[in-house]
Amino acid sequence: MSVVYDLIIIGGGPAGLAAGLYGARARMKTLIIEKQKMGGQIVITDEVANYPGSVHEATGPSLIARMLEQCDEFGAEKVFDDITGFDFSGTTKILKGKHNTYEGKAVIVATGANPRKIGCPGEKELTGKGVSYCATCDADFFQDLEVYVIGGGDTAVEEAMYLTKFARKVTIVHRREELRAAKSIQEKAFSNDKIGFLWNTVVEELKGDGILEKIVFKNVKTGEISEVEADEEDGTFGCFVFTGYLPQAEMFAGTLDMEGGYLKTNDNMETNVPGVYAAGDARVKSLRQVVTATADGAIAAVQAEKYIEHME
């Protein structure tokens, strides 16, 4: 006889773990299903300075370790599996994984969104060591250093302006000869003395011995290759990549309402399907941070508890 959980959470990042904590603490039989590694994007972050109440020198892995301990303390179950199919049509929701099939009265989708990568040599090795995808998270690490921002859309230009509060110089690198950002945002960037531009340019390679020290650029029109090196006194500089996000929710298209690939919810994290909720970076929202992900997870679990109570 198969087990029917009260609550199943897809995704073991901060949103999923917060939901698991709240669900298990409410005495719901709770299961967290994670595809690869618990923690989501935060586990590649060396320092977490902007999560309220985080201890001095907290890291992404240490924060996730504490979240996992809390989930274990209240009895949330965890399993590693890759969900490949689902059926949300009945009162019991069915999730089909590569290794097993799971049934639950309520489901929280917390599958996250991954920043779109450059895809060049050195990027993976230097992520968190000069290469970043979040200005809000990492800007203060580049106080008085030079920073390169990759991208030309609204987010890239807005984050470049934010980075000028910390860096001594910010250079926006864009593959075209004009920005894609809204004109009002462009005007602010062009009038900022700390922002420069590299047009028709892409990143070919990121180099460094344990920390970002050089960036190899290519002019897409001329094919010319150039290399910039961090100031000798600085020893490093920053490369912030803002070329978009890839929400990990495509399998739910056609069943759950979406916008731009992200899951649409109301303020209670409810999707258009009763008993199915979304939390964290996979849903439509204005700020994707650990603190907002955990809030989403908590809200979703509390609402799921109320939904189940009304079922019975």
Give the end of a domain, one of 194, 215, 241. 241
Q: Does one domain contain both 50 and 198? A: no
pLDDT at 229: 97
Give the end of a domain, one of 221, 241, 261. 241
Residue 254 has pLDDT above 90, yes or no: yes
Q: Does one domain contain both 163 and 21? A: no
Averaged pLDDT, 133-154: 93
Tens-digit pLDDT profile for residues 63-113: 899 999 999 999 999 999 999 999 999 999 999 999 999 999 999 999 998
> What is the residue range of 174's domain?
123-241
Q: Does one domain contain both 213 and 106? A: no
Tens-digit pLDDT profile for residues 39-77: 887 766 666 777 888 766 777 888 899 999 999 999 999
Q: Does one domain contain both 194 and 85? A: no
Q: Please identify every residue annotated as catalytic.
A: 134, 137-138
Give the end of a domain, one of 195, 223, 241. 241
How far apart, in whole angstroms, are the C-alpha atoms of residue 135 and residue 48? Answer: 13
32-35's contacts with Cβ under 8 Å and 24+ in sequence apart are 32/71, 32/76, 32/77, 32/78, 32/79, 33/8, 33/9, 33/78, 33/79, 33/80, 33/81, 33/83, 33/95, 33/97, 33/102, 34/78, 34/79, 34/80, 34/81, 35/80, 35/81, 35/82, 35/83
When divided into structural domains, the chain yields a total of 2
Q: Does one domain contain both 230 and 270? A: no
CATH assignment of the domain containing 144: 3.50.50.60
Q: Does one domain contain both 59 and 86? A: yes
Residue 36 has pLDDT above 90, yes or no: no
Q: Does one domain contain both 206 and 151? A: yes
Q: Does one domain contain both 39 and 106? A: yes
Q: Does one domain contain both 129 and 183? A: yes
pLDDT at 1: 47
Residue 132 has pLDDT above 70, yes or no: yes
Tens-digit pLDDT profile for residues 170-199: 999 999 999 999 899 999 999 999 999 999
Residue 263 has pLDDT above 70, yes or no: yes
pTM over 0.95: no
